[in-house]
Structure 1
Amino acid sequence: MAEVHSTHIPKWKKDEIEEIKESINSHPAVGIVNVHGIPARQLQQIRAELYGSAILKIARNTLIERALDESDEKVRVLKEFIEGQTALLFTELNPFKLQRLIEKNKSSAPAKPGDIAPCDIIIEKGPTPFKPGPIVGEFQNVGVPAAIEGGKVVIRERKVLVKAGDKIQQQVADILTKLEIYPMEVGLNLRAVYEEGMIFRPDILAVDESKYFSDFMTAVRNAFNLSINIAYPTSASIRVLLQKASVEARSLAINAMIFEPDVIDALLAKANLQMVSLTAKLSEKALESKSERASEEAGEVKEGEEIYKRA
């Protein structure tokens, strides 16, 4: 009779798999995060900061994979992102808000030997708080141009000490710590988020909020200007359009000398200005001649009126 072999799974593993499956099914968004290099104390702090917004679940990779295998087919894609020290995040937040929450909870940390520089680590030119001593040689040993000026150690020129992606050596890590330069970030690193059948990667979620807001405001201004220029009324532009139409109608009435109650004062003022301007251009002799002529005409009119009365 052939022997039958079966794999026995301890109860605690089954319970953990079921717990993960239940959390997957009860949350609209599930994230995969890297927890490598996070000290236990800071991990507890991160849990506390996420409380009420997301649940952090740390488990063995094999158990996470098993739980995903037994979950909806669409969410199984997250298996591709399981590597190294992995944890799950269960949340009601959308992926973009989750990414912002994770980034917000990151903190700076000193570099350790063997760490990979997340960006170019730069030593700026200028004075340091150190007095002359062995520190000058330590700077020079790692390629930092240091000298003594005025009883202080100074950096003579700006120096890229470690390029992004390079490994940080022991001596370099020591110098950075002495300079209180903490280039490393401690916190969760998001690898992917599943929501409603879609996978969101960090490069998609890393939105520059200030640029996004600036672009949005530019679009709003352009849309408003367009609606004004083509006279397309909207709730935002109707007041300006009415004001513009009123100004243009008034200007037309004044220029075309249309005698309307709303512009009669402006027309009289315009006529008065034209009269004053014309008067200023006439010579005194011409003005006297016109004045005499006006007096003669007035006398003739008066004489005519008297003759009419006698008749």
Structure 2
Amino acid sequence: MVQEWKLKKVKELTEEIEKSPVVGMLDLDGLGAAQLQQMRKDTRDSAKIIVTKKTVITRAIDNSKKENIKDLNNQKSHIPALIISKDNAFKLYKRIDNSKSEAYAKAGNIAPMDITVPAGETNLPPGPVISDLQKAGLKAMIKGNKIAIREDSLLVKEGEEISEIKANVMMKLDIKPMEVGLNILAVHEENMVFSKETLAIDTEQYITDLQTAYTQGFNLAYNADIFIKEIMPQKIQEAQRNAMNLAINAEIANKETITPIIQKSNSEMQSLASQLPKDARGSATIIQQNTAPAEQPKQEPEKKEEEKPKSDEEAASGLGALFG
């Protein structure tokens, strides 16, 4: 027969789960009582940690009507606990993960990384401790009034179980390879369960990926002529440049194109004249750019005056056809 207090506790916890937008499953394995109290204190403004019997947690989750929340019970937790919050799942995970602190290793812990002892002097005075260092595999020696390590030494490989002698040596050398804090296994929010791997994103890399995606999307829309507000200013500028180039190459003269047309014609004339021998150039004279001879306007004044009205009409007609 189920004890009454347990039924009451299941009911209370189920109500907590129902009214909380974000519910996470924790594993408190390796976390001491004092550290748990500190974590509760540090997170009390944004989250609530609920520690109770595993069966109570399991039944409360099973009783919840939230979609997919039962997936939290599939998480492998040695010492389960719940955390509830109004923060979104990713913000909650980051806040909890950032609150972790360094700690000394204990015998039986699994090394989270390669643990290396660098060469050089230690803070340890000569004494029996040198024997412990040597037993742990370190090349230790006495140097003056300190113990020194002869060369960089790999003490424990990543994934290897830490022995008692090596844990003691790391403590003496003030090496803290472990992280102490709440371990979030999964979080339920808006009918979805996010795993630890999903929540543990690199914020800086995520922002870089978003920026890259935006740039690629922009380029795709631009090159495919998908007219959205983000690309319209550049598209209008491109159309303006293309229209100007078309008008210049088609010699459609107006107030915007007449100067570049004249410059283009002058450049072509200069290029052609420079290819002819001097005695074949006739009256053509090679001049510097933007330098107009004073005598030339007398040679063809009437032609320019006769062609001007016609050029304005052609300009209006040409640009009208170009822009509809």
TM-score by length of 1: 0.77
2:115 touches 2:158 (CA, 8 Å); kept in 1? no
CA distances 1:8-60 after superposition (whole Å, capped 9, x unpaired) = 7354x454333312211211222111112222232222112222322111112
Q: 1:278 to 1:131 in 2, by over 3 A?
A: farther
1:124 touches 1:155 (CA, 8 Å); kept in 2? no
**Cα distance between partner residues in 2 of 1:224 and 1:131:** 61
**Cα distance between partner residues in 1 of 2:233 and 2:150:** 61
**Cα distance between partner residues in 1 of 2:95 and 2:82:** 15
**Cα distance between partner residues in 2 of 1:71 and 1:280:** 90
- Equivalent residue for 1:64? 57
> What amino acid is the match of 1:234?
I
Pair 1:92-2:93 in alignment: no
Pair 1:30-2:19 in alignment: no
Pair 1:242-2:236 in alignment: yes
C-alpha RMSD of the superposition: 3.2
- Equivalent residue for 2:148? 153
Count of aligned pairs: 283
Q: How far did residue 243 of structure 1 move?
A: 1.1
Q: Secondary structure at the match of 2:107?
A: coil
2:187 touches 2:194 (CA, 8 Å); kept in 1? yes
1:176 to 163, 170, 180: 170
Q: Secondary structure at the match of 2:246?
A: helix
Q: How far did residue 238 of structure 1 move?
A: 0.8
1:213 to 173, 187, 207: 207
> What amino acid is the match of 2:188?
Y
Structure 2: state its 5+ residue gaps: 285-294, 299-324
- Equivalent residue for 2:97? 103
* Structure possessing the higher radius of gyration over alpha carbons: 1
2:116 touches 2:156 (CA, 8 Å); kept in 1? no
> What amino acid is the match of 1:41?
A
1:131 touches 1:152 (CA, 8 Å); kept in 2? yes
1:132 touches 1:153 (CA, 8 Å); kept in 2? no
**Cα distance between partner residues in 1 of 2:34 and 2:124:** 35
- Equivalent residue for 2:287? none
TM-score by length of 2: 0.74
Q: How far did residue 70 of structure 1 move?
A: 4.1
- Equivalent residue for 1:269? 263
Percentage of pairs with the same residue: 34
Q: How far did residue 109 of structure 1 move?
A: 0.9
Q: How far did residue 178 of structure 1 move?
A: 3.6
Q: How far did residue 126 of structure 1 move?
A: 4.2
- Equivalent residue for 2:252? 258
Structure 1: state its 5+ residue gaps: 1-6, 299-311
**Cα distance between partner residues in 2 of 1:266 and 1:93:** 62
Quick check: 43-52 or 13-22, which moved more? Answer: 13-22
Q: Secondary structure at the match of 1:258?
A: coil
- Equivalent residue for 1:123? 116
